[in-house]
Amino acid sequence: MRRLGRGCLLGVMLTLAGVALAGCGNYQNECTKKGDNVDRRLAACTRIIENPKKNASATKLSKAYYTRGYIYAAQRRFALATQNFTAAIKLAPNRGQAYRGRGKVYAALGNYDLAIADFTSAIKINPKDDDSYNVRGDAYLAREEYELALADYGKVLELDPLNATSYMHRGDAYDRARAYDLAIADYNKAIGIDPTYALAYYKRGLASYHKGDHDQAYADFREAIAINPTYVPAYYSIGNLYDEQRYYDIALAYYNAALKLAPSYAPAYSGRGLVYYHTGRTDLALADFTQAIKLDPKDAHSFASRALAYFYNGSPDNAETDLKQAIALRPQEASYLLWLNIVQRQNSLPDKLRQAIRRLDGSGSPALSVDASPGETSSAALLAMTKESDPEKEQTAVCDANFLSGEWALFSGATDDAIRLFATAQGSCSQSLPQWYAAGSELKALGK
């Protein structure tokens, strides 16, 4: 009887294990074949890697490694994916696919420096690699390097002018850079290329919301749902719109609809928690914020929201713990440091208000980046510092100035001034900002 070779023997073993391969000499095709049978592809790639033919080329082995790397990456087995992509690069350093695959793994892990380095290597190998430009743009966007992100998305569109996804991504970069009209223009182009692109409608809605056009935002969110009735973020965002307008029952209905479609969607728990908080149902608010944190332990906003609920429910120790966690997750958010000062003052801990003002930056109130506290600078002077070319930035700065001055007045014992300033803050703050709710809570505590 003719003896089976090692390759055929492995094929028999894999067949017995439930992974059928096409034949002893067809592993390369099975490895790279597109299809749903991932186990079969993985087995074929492994056969090539572990039992290479004597004359197997480095290119074929490299292809098996990076194909297996992509399979592992799709399964979120990132350590194995990285190992395979690295092996592929060592075998064939002039093939860009492995660099791009490893870069995507690094990006998924939040290691954007290594991701950008790998995407750049892929682009050097193939300057027309539009996918590598696109994902490098995503990495720059995650690092808030908007100009570099815009340049990469622009390069993709230069290579592929009908790429609706890249118009949307470039729109995201413009939106994050607060260039809302340019963002909307790019979302319009994406929609023009693909009128059924629900995500582009949703993103255009967000840009309109950031611009202050809530009617257009609502219309785009509704259109996203009309195209895709299961598009959860659109339900959540409509809930936010109604929450801001204090239509709490309608907001609650949209958050519940989002959670019915996606019970693990953390933002909807956070949004619903705010509705419960605003309507005095603190226990339910705390439960929802806790669930949001359980689902997304890196969401600083949920920690900060739960901290406020704890604080105004008479649990300043828990509030302090949550605020410290929010600051650890998002140290650039100066408003969290301000709130920590307020809570610590309640707990008779050292005052950090001066530090909070020094830390205020573009994520809070750029105009208040001054070396002074409200005790050393009048509220009128603080307001004079809030002039901004961006109306949204100026509104936030005015909000912060009024609320911050009210807190200082309260701390200094000037109760009448504090009442006046908190009332002004409620008029100047967007209802999406925690300062609006906090000013109302302070007024309530003062009997107003």
Residue 446, domain member (yes or no): yes
What single letter denotes the amino acid at residue 30?
Answer: E
CA dist 55 and 22 (Å) reads 22
Task: Decide if 439 is inside a domain.
Answer: yes
Instruction: Encode pLDDT of 260-293 as tens digits.
Output: 999 999 999 999 999 999 898 999 999 999 999 9
Asked if the structure places residue 428 within a domain, the reply is yes
Q: Classify 234 as helix, strand or coil.
A: helix
Q: Phi then psi for 260, rounded to 5 degrees?
A: -65, -40
Residue 293 contacts residue 299 (beta carbons within 8 Å): yes
Question: What one-letter code names the amino acid at 40?
Answer: R
Helix (H) or strand (E) holding 322: helix 316-329
Assess if residue 383 is contained within a domain: yes
How many independent structural domains does the chain possess?
A: 1
Query: What pLDDT is recorded for position 355?
Result: 47
Q: Please report the pLDDT score of residue 354 as a whole number.
A: 41
Q: Does 401 fall in a domain? A: yes
How does pLDDT run along the chain (448 residues), one tens digit per residue?
334 344 444 444 444 444 444 444 566 777 877 776 888 888 888 888 887 765 567 888 898 998 999 999 999 999 999 999 999 999 999 989 999 999 999 999 999 999 999 999 999 999 999 999 999 999 999 999 999 999 999 999 999 999 999 999 999 999 999 999 999 999 999 999 999 999 999 999 999 999 999 999 999 999 999 999 999 999 999 999 999 888 999 999 999 999 999 999 999 999 999 999 989 899 999 999 999 999 999 999 999 999 989 988 889 899 999 999 999 999 888 778 878 877 887 665 444 544 444 344 333 333 332 233 444 444 455 445 444 445 566 677 777 778 877 877 777 778 888 888 888 888 877 776 667 777 887 888 788 7
Q: Which DSSP category does 433 fall into?
A: S
Give dist(CA 408, CA 397) in Å, integer.
16
Q: Give the integer Cα–Cα distance in Å for 423 and 268.
A: 29
Contacts of 271 (CB under 8 A, 6+ apart): 236, 239, 240, 243, 251, 255
314 in any annotated domain = no
Burial (CB count <10 Å: 0-12, 13-18, 19+), residue 261: middle
Count Cα atoms within 13 angstroms, Cβ side, for 434.
20
- Containing structural domain, residue 424: 374-448
Query: According to the 3-state scheme, what is the secondary structure of 144-172?
Result: CCHHHHHHHHHHHHHHCCCCHHHHHHHHH
Residue 406 lies in a domain: yes
- The answer to whether position 328 is within a domain reads no
Read off the tokens for 221. Answer: 């969110």
